[in-house]
Each structure stands twice: as C-alpha cells, then as structure tokens.
Structure 1
Amino acid sequence: MRVYPDQLLRNLSPLPQCCLIFGDDPWLCDQSRTALHQIAKQQGFDEKIQLTQETGFSWNELIDQWQAMSLFSSRRIIELTLPTAKPGTEGSAMFQSLMQMDNPDVLLILTGPKLALEQTKSKWFKSLDAKGVYVPCITPEGAQFQRWLDGRINHYSLTLSRDSREMLFALYEGNLLAADQALQLLQLLSPTAPIEPEQLSQYFEDQSRFSVFQLTDAMLSNQQDKAQHILSQLKSEGVAMPIILWSLFKELGVLLQLKTAEVNGQALQGLWSKLRIWDKRKPLYQQAIKRLSLAQVETLLSTSSTLELKLKQQGIEDWTGLSHICLLFDAKAHDALKHIALD
C-alpha cells in the first residue's frame, strides 16, 4: 500500500509486517523512519538489527535474524538498507519467502534510493507491498512544497507574513532539511512575534536546490523569475554547463517537433506518446506551443547551438547567454533582444 510521508502515522495501526522507505529526500526518509520507530517502540519493538546489502552480504543473515529469538525483548526491528534498491535474484526470492512466513514479533524496514516504476512492478516489491506499506520519499516541488512548508510553519506555531512565507519558499525550495532547520531557528528567535522578510534576510541565505529538469520546466511555462533563480542556483552549485545544455536541447527538440506538426496542421495526439511526454507535462508544452512561433523556437535552437560551440571550441561557459535563452522563452522578448549577439 502506497502511503505518503505525511500520512504514515495514520496508517500504522495495526503495525504492518514490513515498511518500505525509498526516496532521495534525506529529511523525508529520516522523518518516516523516526515515526515508524516511535510507533514500533510503543508496541514493544525494543531491539533493532541493522543490515546493509553490500559486498559480501549474505541473504541467509536476513532469514537467520527473522527466525532468531530475541535476546532482549519479545519483538524486534530488522532494518535492511538496499543502497541500489536492487536485491537481485537471491534477494528477491528471499523477500518472497519471508512474506510467506508471518512473524508478528518482527518488523522489517527496507530503506534505499528512489524506486523506478519498473521496480515497483517487480515480484519482490509486490510481495512486500502486499504485507506492508510503501513510503515514497520524494522531494515536493512547487505547490506541494508550499503545502509542506505551510504545514511545518504550523507545526512550529510560527507567525509569518505572506511575504515571509514567499521568501522562505524561494530560499529553500527543494531542500527540506535546510528549511526545517531554518524554522527551528525561527522558533527560538521569534516564538510568538510575527516574522517579516527583513528579519529573514538577516538570518538566512539562499539554500534552495534545483535540477536541470526544473529549469527547463520553468522555461517552458515562461516563469521568468523562477527560471533565472534556478539558473543562478545551478551555477552556484557547480552544475556542469554541458548537462544544462543537454537538457535544453532535449526539450527544444521536442518543442520543435510539436510546433512543426501544429504549423503543418497535424494532430498532436499521436505525438505525445511517440515523444514520451507524460500527461503531467503536456500543459508545459501546450503553453510553449501557444506562446512561441516556429521561427522563435528555431531561434532558441540556434542560440543554444552558439553557446554549445563557444563551450566546445573555446572552453567558454556563457552563463549570461543561458540567462538570455531563458528570456527568449517569452515571445515578447524576441523583438526586444534581437539586437544582442551571443557569438
């Protein structure tokens, strides 16, 4: 059963046979494990066994622990870390076997990185999921991050103005651990008084984290301020420009095919699946297609090619040029900026 981190406590009665905590967000993973351990302790699970699937790991150790009598209590937690989330043939068979051996005195917790869709369809995952809960710990974005942030603000009983909330959103989007630490600090500094942006600027600096995919999403949706902010953060984090250009060319290539089809009077319905565009991302392309002309998309491609040549031939990382390309995702910017040459 899939249960999101904020719903976990409501789904631990009765305590399941196993719990799968997988994801790349360290704060959500840690909070989920802590909540699970607290509930388990209340039900007499006092002993903890920690295992890691690493070089030399024997799956027999897992079944030995599953069947062993506890030395200190009647109930025990076995926490197994799967660093690659790939138990292999032997591990898969072991999980399926264990789930046929009900043991109410053992709670199995599996932890590891984000699972791909095909992994959640595997036999080992399905056998565990049928007897427990799956907690995907994926960093929330956009409106979901805002809801998470509002929830944590309420958790710490803080009073923040609308501008302060927006500033925290901009400072910490994508970095839940830093955001929660910041709120804990605010609880110490201003537990009852309203908090204004001026105070925040004295305490904190920008620690938001983004991916190149979030950058191209912001470009496609013409969120200019967000795109420029993400680009600045990627630069400060040392993200390699070739990675950004790769993602940019990928999206522009898709956009060119869609726009060309539209101009030629071709229905786009068949292209969505061909270009592997998920339903969730369709609105981004639809906005861009409606906003930009075919000539403007071609200009974006040629301008991006200019930056790539500067990088490959001259070793120049033109971050100003990337900022310029962000602006060109706004159709109105093409005429205003056409006099600027990037070569």
Structure 2
Amino acid sequence: MRVYPDQLAKQLTPLTQCYLVFGDDPWLCETSKSLIYAQAKRDGFEERIQLTQETGFNWQDLLEEWNTMSLFASRRIIELSLPQAKPGSDGSAQLQALMQHHNPDILLLLTGPKLASEQTKSKWFKSLDAKGVYIPCTTPEGAQFQRWLQGRISHFKLRLTQDAQQMLFNLYEGNLLAADQALQLLQLLNPNDLINSQQLEQYFEDQSRFTVFQLADVLLNNQQDKAQHMLSQLQAEGVAMPILLWGQFKELTTLLQLKQAQELGGNVSSLWNKLRIWDKRKALYQAALSRLSLTQIEAMLAFASKTELRLKQQGVEDWTALSHLCLLYDPSAHEHLSHIELA
C-alpha cells in the first residue's frame, strides 16, 4: 500500500509487517522513519537491528535475525538498508520468503534511494508492498512544496505574512531540511508575533559578519574587488547558497523592472516606493542602471536561474558560477565572459 509522508502518521495504527521508506529527500526519509520508530516503541518494539546490503552481505543474516528470539524478550525492528535498491536474485527470493512467514514480534523496515518504475514492478517489491506500506519520499516542488511549507509553519505555530512565506518559498524550495531548520529557529526567536519579510531579512543579516545585503550594495556600485572578498568570506562562514541566490534574484528582478520602465520612457522615480527602495539606496540602483543594459540584466537573471536549477536538481553548490554572476555587474565582463556556459 502506498502512503505519502504527510499521511503516514494516520496510517501507523495498527502497524503492518513491513515498511518501505525509499526516496531522494533526506528530511522526508528521516521524518518517516522517526514516525515509524516512535509508534513501534509504543507498541513494544524495543530492540533495533541494523543491516546494510553491501559487498559480501549474506542474506542468511537477515533470515537468522528474523527467526532469533530477542535476548530481552522484546519485539524487534530490523532495518535493512538497500543503497542501490537492488536486492538481487538471492535477496529477492529471501524477502519474498519472509513475507510468507508472518512474525508478529518483528517489524521489517527497508530503506534506500528513489525507486524507478521498473523496481516497483519487481516481485520482491510487490511481495513487501502487499504485506506492508510503501512511503515514497520525493522532494515536493511548486504547489506541493507550498503546501508542505504551510503545514510546517502550522506545526511550529508560527504566524508569517504572505510576503514572508513567499520569501521562505523562494529560499528553500527543494531543501526541506534547511527550511525546517529555519522554521525551528524562527520558533525560538519569535514564537508569538506576526513575522514579515523585513524581519526575515534582519534574521538573515544577523547570520554573518558580511551580509547578503551588503554584498548586493557593493555589486550595485560595481566594487568588484570588495564583492569577491565578501563572497569568499560568506562562503567561509557557511552562509547557505540559497540565501545568496535569493538576494541576487531580488536585486536583479528589481533592476529589470526599473530598466524596463526606463527603456519605455517611463518615470523610474515613481517605482521607488512600489519596489521599497529607500532613499539611501537609490543612488546605487541609478549607478547600476546607468551602466547595465536591459539585455545584460536579462542575461544575468538567466544565468542565476541556471545556477539555482543546478543547486535544486543536482545539489551542486557552484560558488564559481556565483562569483561569475557577481562579475557580470560590470558591463565589460559580459563581453569577456559571455562564452562561458554552466556544465
């Protein structure tokens, strides 16, 4: 039976013979396992055996654990990790055989990476799925991530404005672990009051000696040496790349709107309040607008999007690409770096 992670808690009583937790999202996998272990403990499963299918693994070990009485006379959980999600012919036969011999004192928990469609059609999988629960732990995207985020905000009893929720969505889509950690910290810092995007910005600003916003200012002013030094320091201090990319998208999107208005002959100054650009930063934007063309700003946004896509889909933290993006605030760099493409 297939059960998605957000519904698992409702499907744990009574426990079944086995659970299959497979997927590519670490947070969903660990959370699902924790829910299963917590319910198992309540039901008297106090002993835990861990096995991993690696080179030289003997499937007879699994059978022996299945048939061995606990030294402490308690019920037992056998967690079997399948790093490749491929038990082979011996393992497939063993798993199918175990499902034919029900043992109420054993709970089998299988874990591994995301399963391909052909794996879910295999005999070993169908045998276990018929006797237990399959939890596919795939990272939610788009509207699904939005629902997950709202659920976690409710879980922590936080109150966030719509713009603050959108900021978190932009920052953490594709990274549930980082999103959950951020929400836990917000619960500690501000458990009762309504949190807006400005307060979130202040939180991010407090995380390092140099800040995302300081980096944005020196880039708008085309202080390249200082910007590269800041970026290096931010990396050394462990500032998360999603936060830095969010900062770049924020500034480049603002520049794009201003430049488009400028190109159409509109009154750019009328956009200051709408875009929340305060007096002390107007000169920075005007300097950037005077040297960057609309085509260059669009190219920078496209490059930032590719960098973010690699981060979210492949887990690649490409600091060289981020450095490249910063260099593009200098119009002369577009001519010299335009031939460079992300791998």
Query: What TM-score do the two structures reach when normalised by structure 1?
Result: 0.64
2:113 counterpart letter in structure 1: P
Q: Is the 8 A contact 1:21 1:137 kept in 2?
A: yes
**Partner residue, 2:184:** 184
Instruction: Kindly provide the CA deviation profile for residues 61-104 of structure 1, in whole angstroms up to 9, marking residues without a partner as x.
Output: 00000000001233100000000000000000000000000001
Q: Does 1:230 align with 2:305?
A: yes
For 1:129-140, list aligned pairs within 5 A. 129-140=129-140
Give the direction of change, closer, same or farther, for the CA distance of 1:38–1:29 in structure 2 (3 Å limit): same
Instruction: Kindly provide the CA deviation profile for residues 144-187 of structure 1, in whole angstroms up to 9, marking residues without a partner as x.
Output: 00000000000000010000000000000000000000000000
2:155 counterpart letter in structure 1: H
2:111 counterpart letter in structure 1: T
**Partner residue, 2:54:** 54
Is the partner of 2:22 in helix, strand or coil? strand
How far apart are 1:226 and its partner, in Å? 9.2
Q: Which moved more, 1:8-17 or 1:231-240?
A: 231-240
Write the distance in 1 (CA, Å) between the matches of 2:83 and 2:110. Answer: 10
User: Which consecutive aligned stretches of 4+ in structure 1 deviate over 4 angstroms post-superposition?
Assistant: 205-209, 224-229
Q: Which moved more, 1:44-53 or 1:72-81?
A: 72-81
Q: Is the 8 A contact 2:17 2:104 kept in 1?
A: yes
2:4 counterpart letter in structure 1: Y
How far apart are 1:14 and its partner, in Å? 1.3
Q: Does 1:159 align with 2:159?
A: yes
Instruction: Kindly provide the CA deviation profile for residues 290-314 of structure 1, in whole angstroms up to 9, marking residues without a partner as x.
Output: xxxxxxxxxxxxxxxxxxxx99xx9
Is the partner of 2:167 in helix, strand or coil? helix
How far apart are 1:6 and its partner, in Å? 0.8
Is the partner of 2:160 in helix, strand or coil? coil
Give the direction of change, closer, same or farther, for the CA distance of 1:127–1:318 in structure 2 (3 Å limit): closer
**Partner residue, 2:126:** 126
Is the partner of 1:130 in helix, strand or coil? helix
**Partner residue, 1:296:** none
Instruction: Kindly provide the CA deviation profile for residues 249-293 of structure 1, in whole angstroms up to 9, marking residues without a partner as x.
Output: xxxxxxxxxxxxxxxxxxxxxxxxxxxxxxxxxxxxxxxxxxxxx
* Equivalent pairs, count: 235
Q: Is the 8 A contact 1:45 1:73 kept in 2?
A: no
Q: Is the 8 A contact 2:307 2:318 kept in 1?
A: no
For 1:265-284, list aligned pairs within 5 A. none
1:96 counterpart letter in structure 2: Q
Write the distance in 2 (CA, Å) between the matches of 1:115 and 1:71. Answer: 35
Q: Does 1:317 align with 2:336?
A: no
Write the distance in 2 (CA, Å) between the matches of 1:159 and 1:226. Answer: 31
Q: Which moved more, 1:225-234 or 1:99-108?
A: 225-234
**Partner residue, 2:116:** 116
**Partner residue, 1:101:** 101
2:305 counterpart letter in structure 1: I
Q: Is the 8 A contact 2:241 2:317 kept in 1?
A: no
1:237 counterpart letter in structure 2: E
How far apart are 1:231 and its partner, in Å? 1.9
Query: What TM-score do the two structures reach when normalised by structure 2?
Result: 0.64
Instruction: Kindly provide the CA deviation profile for residues 102-145 of structure 1, in whole angstroms up to 9, marking residues without a partner as x.
Output: 00100000000000000000000000000000000000000000
Is the partner of 2:56 in helix, strand or coil? coil
For 1:1-343, list aligned pairs within 5 A. 1-204=1-204, 207-208=241-242, 230-233=305-308, 234=310, 237-238=317-318, 316-318=339-341
Give the direction of change, closer, same or farther, for the CA distance of 1:227–1:184 in structure 2 (3 Å limit): farther
Q: Is the 8 A contact 2:83 2:112 kept in 1?
A: yes
Give the direction of change, closer, same or farther, for the CA distance of 1:229–1:151 in structure 2 (3 Å limit): farther
How far apart are 1:203 and its partner, in Å? 2.4
Unaligned 5+ segments in structure 1 are 210-223, 242-309, 323-343
1:95 counterpart letter in structure 2: L
Is the partner of 2:187 in helix, strand or coil? helix
How far apart are 1:200 and its partner, in Å? 1.1
Q: Which moved more, 1:172-181 or 1:10-19?
A: 10-19
1:73 counterpart letter in structure 2: A
